[in-house]
Amino acid sequence: MSLLPKSRTARRRLMTLAVAAPVLVLALAVAIYAMKGSISLFYTPSQALAAHVPPGQTIELGGLVRMGSLFKKPDGEIDFVVVDKTTASPVTYKGEVPDLFREGQGVVARGAFDTAGVFIATEIFAKHDEKYMPPELAAALKKQGEWRGDGAQAPAYAR
């Protein structure tokens, strides 16, 4: 008893499938591996704390810049605190910040936490105009009940 079908056409289709399937699986695996480095996860400070984001993993951290937390050092490094409703995360960034970056406003920082729990940002994104907020940040703030809408005052914890 043979495992192969008796029909010549059926055997040809089976052989084509036997050759094509591993090639497609390999191509899919290579594509997923290549995209692994470009995936950026978005967290608010409380979500990052709950998810136990490992040091060195690139993420996007979003929230509001706490009032009075912005400190500019002479070497061009900027320290500030990103807050959401319950948690605050210290952030360090070296480089040029967007013109609209300021205290009490929404911000998204791309980077990674260090072993001390400080977020080392490699990029800073701020609002494009007075009404724009990154969709991920707006959704997270709405979920927490902290959406300020069109120009409302910053919440007390951001002050």
Q: What is the tens place of the pLDDT at every residue in 79-108?
A: 999 998 889 999 999 988 888 888 888 899
Do residues 60 and 26 both lie within one domain? no
Q: What is the pTM of this model?
A: 0.62
| Counted domains in the chain | 2
Do residues 111 and 90 both lie within one domain? yes
Q: What percent of the chain has pLDDT over 90?
A: 37
Do residues 69 and 119 both lie within one domain? yes
Task: Return the percent helix, strand and coil in the chain, to nearest 5.
Answer: 30, 25, 40
pLDDT higher than threshold 60 for residue 4: yes
Judging by beta carbons within 10 Å of its beta carbon (0-12, 13-18, 19+), is residue 104 exposed, middle or buried?
middle
Q: What is the mean pLDDT of residues 23-33?
A: 92
* Structural domain containing residue 124: 41-158
